[in-house]
Amino acid sequence: MNIENNEVKSLNFIEEIIEHDNETGKHNKRVLTRFPPEPNGFLHIGHAKSICLNFGLGKKYSGATNLRFDDTNPTTEKVDYVNSIQNDVRWLGFEWDGEVKYASDYFENLYTCAQTLIKKGLAYVDFSSPDDIAKQKGTPTQAGTGNAYRETSAEENLSLFEKMRKGEFKDGECVLRAKIDMASPNMLLRDPVIYRIKRAHHHRTGDNWCIYPMYDFAHPISDALEGITHSICTLEFEPHRPFYEWLLAELGLYNSQQIEFARLNLTYTVMSKRKMLKLVEKQLVNSWDDPRMPTISGMRRRGYTAKAIRDFAVAVGISKRESMLDVSLLEHFIREDLNKISKRVMAVIDPIKVVISNYETGKTELLPAENNPEDSNAGHRELSFSNTIFIEREDFNENPPKGYFKLTPNGYVRLKHAYIIKCEELIKDENGNLVEIRASYVENSKSGSDTSGLKVKGVIHWVDANNYHPVQINWYDRLLTIENAADIPEDEEFTDYINPNSLKTITAWGEKSLADAKAGEHFQFMRKGYFCVDTESAAAAPIFNLTVELKDSWAKELKKQS
Ligand code: ATP
Ligand code: MG
d(CA 362, CA 365): 10
How far from 267 is each of 294, 323, 328, CA to CA, in Å?
Answer: 11, 10, 9
Whose CA is closest to atom 15 on ligand 1? Answer: 37
Cα of 390 vs its chain's centroid, Å: 37
Active site residue 273: yes
* 483, 268 Cβ separation under 8 angstroms: yes
Q: Which of 15, 26, 29, 38 is catalytic?
A: 38
Whose CA is closest to atom 13 on ligand 1? Answer: 37
152 or 555: whose pLDDT is higher?
A: 152
How far from 182 is each of 192, 216, 249, CA to CA, in Å?
Answer: 9, 17, 19
If pLDDT is split at 50, 70 and 90, which confidence band does 553 have? low
What pLDDT shows up at residue 9?
53
Looking at the predicted structure, is the pLDDT value of residue 62 above 90?
yes
Task: Report the amino acid identity of residue 525.
Answer: F
Closest ligand 1 atom to residue 44 Cα is 3
| Stated length of the chain | 562
Closest ligand 1 atom to residue 273 Cα is 4
What pLDDT shows up at residue 4?
47
Please state the rounded mean pLDDT for residues 172-195: 98
What pLDDT shows up at residue 3?
47
What pLDDT shows up at residue 387?
98
Phi, psi of 156 (to 5 degrees): -60, -45
Centre a 10 Å sphere on the Cβ of residue 63 and count the other Cβ atoms it contains: 19
Looking at the predicted structure, is the pLDDT value of residue 451 above 80?
yes
Please state the rounded mean pLDDT for residues 529-541: 94
When the pLDDT of each residue in the chain is averaged and rounded to a whole number, the result is 95
Please state the rounded mean pLDDT for residues 447-455: 95
Looking at the predicted structure, is the pLDDT value of residue 6 above 70?
no
Active site residue 38: yes
Cα of 441 vs its chain's centroid, Å: 47
Active site residue 263: yes
Whose CA is closest to atom 27 on ligand 1? Answer: 46
Cα-Cα-Cα-Cα dihedral sign, residues 39, 44, 46, 52: positive
**Of 44, 47, 494, best ligand 1 pocket probe by most atoms within 8 Å of the beta carbon:** 47
Instruction: Find the 559 Cα to ligand 2 centroid distance in Å.
Output: 36
Name the CA dihedral angle for 176, 178, 182, 184, rounded to a multiple of 10 degrees. Answer: -150
* 190, 180 Cβ separation under 8 angstroms: yes
Looking at the predicted structure, is the pLDDT value of residue 450 above 50?
yes
Instruction: Find the 36 Cα to ligand 2 centroid distance in Å.
Output: 8
d(CA 509, CA 507): 7
Instruction: Find the 437 Cα to ligand 1 centroid distance in Å.
Output: 55
**Of 232, 234, 293, 319, best ligand 1 pocket probe by most atoms within 8 Å of the beta carbon:** 234
By DSSP bridging, strand 32-35 and strand 468-476 are: unpaired
If pLDDT is split at 50, 70 and 90, which confidence band does 561 have? low
* 146, 136 Cβ separation under 8 angstroms: yes
d(CA 278, CA 537): 24
* 70, 269 Cβ separation under 8 angstroms: no
How far from 94 is each of 80, 84, 283, 311, CA to CA, in Å?
Answer: 20, 14, 32, 14
117: helix, strand or coil: helix
Give the model confidence (pLDDT) of 131-175 as tens digits. Answer: 999 999 999 999 999 999 999 999 999 999 999 999 999 999 999
d(CA 230, CA 17): 9
Give the model confidence (pLDDT) of 398-431 as tens digits. Answer: 999 999 999 999 999 999 999 999 999 999 999 9
Q: 426, 429, 436: which is closest to 353 by C-alpha?
A: 436
Sequence-ordered strand ranges (E) for 54-207:
64-69, 101-102, 123-126, 175-178, 193-197
- Cα Rg, the chain, nearest whole Å: 31
* 383, 418 Cβ separation under 8 angstroms: yes
Please state the rounded mean pLDDT for residues 204-228: 98
What pLDDT shows up at residue 59?
97
Q: Which of 263, 275, 353, 527 is catalytic?
A: 263
Looking at the predicted structure, is the pLDDT value of residue 202 above 60?
yes
What pLDDT shows up at residue 268?
97
Please state the rounded mean pLDDT for residues 255-271: 96
What pLDDT shows up at residue 540?
87
d(CA 165, CA 286): 41
Closest ligand 1 atom to residue 264 Cα is 28
Whose CA is closest to atom 2 on ligand 1? Answer: 272
Give the model confidence (pLDDT) of 498-528 as tens digits. Answer: 999 999 999 999 999 999 999 999 999 999 9
Name the CA dihedral angle for 479, 483, 484, 487, rounded to a multiple of 10 degrees. Answer: -110
Q: Which residues line ligand 1 (CB under 6 A)?
A: 36-38, 46-47, 49-50, 233-234, 263-264, 271-274
What pLDDT shows up at residue 539?
87
Looking at the predicted structure, is the pLDDT value of residue 311 above 90?
yes
What pLDDT shows up at residue 69?
98
Phi, psi of 428 (to 5 degrees): -120, 155
* 215, 103 Cβ separation under 8 angstroms: no
Give the model confidence (pLDDT) of 74-119 as tens digits. Answer: 999 999 999 999 999 999 999 999 999 999 999 999 999 999 999 9
Cα of 550 vs its chain's centroid, Å: 20
* Ligand showing the shortest atom-to-Cα distance for residue 272: 1
pTM of the model: 0.94
165: helix, strand or coil: helix
d(CA 452, CA 367): 18
Q: Which of 273, 300, 302, 310 is catalytic?
A: 273
Using a 10 angstrom Cβ sphere, with 0-12 exposed, 13-18 middle and 19 or more buried, the burial of residue 408 is middle
Give the model confidence (pLDDT) of 351-377 as tens digits. Answer: 999 999 999 999 999 999 999 999 999
Domains, the chain, with CATH or none: 13-261 (3.40.50.620), 273-343+471-561 (2.40.240.10), 347-460 (2.40.240.10)
Name beta bridge partners: 463: 390
What pLDDT shows up at residue 440?
98
How far from 247 is each of 119, 191, 215, 240, 551, CA to CA, in Å?
Answer: 14, 12, 13, 11, 53
Closest ligand 1 atom to residue 38 Cα is 10
